[in-house]
Amino acid sequence: MLPVPYLSISQINKYLTCPKQYEFRYVQKIPESKGSPLVVGSSFHKVIEESNRQKLDTGEILSDEEMKDIYDSYWKKNVHDIDWKPDENPDEEKERGFILAKAYLHDDIGKSLNPAGFEAKFDVEVEGIPFRGFIDIIEEDGHIRDLKTSKKTPAENVAEQSLQLAGYSYAYRYLTGNYEAGCSLDFAVSLKTGPKIVRRETEITDYRMDRFKDTFYNVANAIDKEIYYRNEGTACSWCSFRDICKGEE
């Protein structure tokens, strides 16, 4: 039995990173600290979503001033939850996210968006197990896009390794009965030289889809059997539960 009545990509990734981390978060329900990248990313997403909603209505994206108002408003609602690192500058982090949102919407990659849906919620089943999530953008031709912010240029094969894109493709096929037109990760990258917009595309083959379903089922089965071991490694350095976990010995 799952501690949450469904599995999501974030849950699966957390379990794959460290099963003990999953237990702390979803079984013991210990609150997890929120780092600045999460709030930067969610504020970025909000601007992209609202700008493209206007684009659907009027054919034009938001002005830079309108983008800034939306970004600032969303940031203000969430900034109090951030667990700041000693070397982080809150004002610089806030500005970084807005610069990335503006750069994405003015870049050819952002301009090429032809969305039919935003933050499209789905509730489907994989091998009888509930699967829930939100697809960032589904374009009119059936292309799936997920948006990311980053401080470094993503690897060329990052989309080919994305469990998230495979899961979203599964949901799209389940609900529509059709194959997606394509899948991509759109990155807004914050470099010292300025913002950089990068797309990484991939194809979800039948073999890759089978691998997704196998991973989904096996993670669900391990959770059902309460297999929560510690996965000692680099993830310990940023884990929200590090002090609790290390103090249990």
Tell me: the pLDDT tens digits for 153-189? Answer: 999 999 999 999 999 999 999 999 999 999 999 999 9
Q: Where are the domains of the chain?
A: 114-223
Distance, CA of 204 to CA of 215 (rounded, Å): 15
**Residue 25 DSSP symbol:** I
Which pLDDT tens digit goes with each residue over 106-161? 999 999 988 888 889 999 999 999 999 999 999 999 999 999 999 999 999 999 99
Q: Which ranges of 79-199 would DSSP assign to H, the alpha helix?
A: 90-106, 108-111, 163-176
The Cα-based distances of 119 to 52, 191, 242 in angstroms read 12, 27, 32
Q: Indicate whether 249 pLDDT > 60.
A: no
CATH code of the domain made up of 114-223:
3.90.320.10
Which residues are within 8 A (CB) of 98 and not within 5 positions of it... i.e. 6 or more apart?
43, 47, 67, 68, 71, 72
Least confident of 9-18, 196-205, 234-243: 234-243
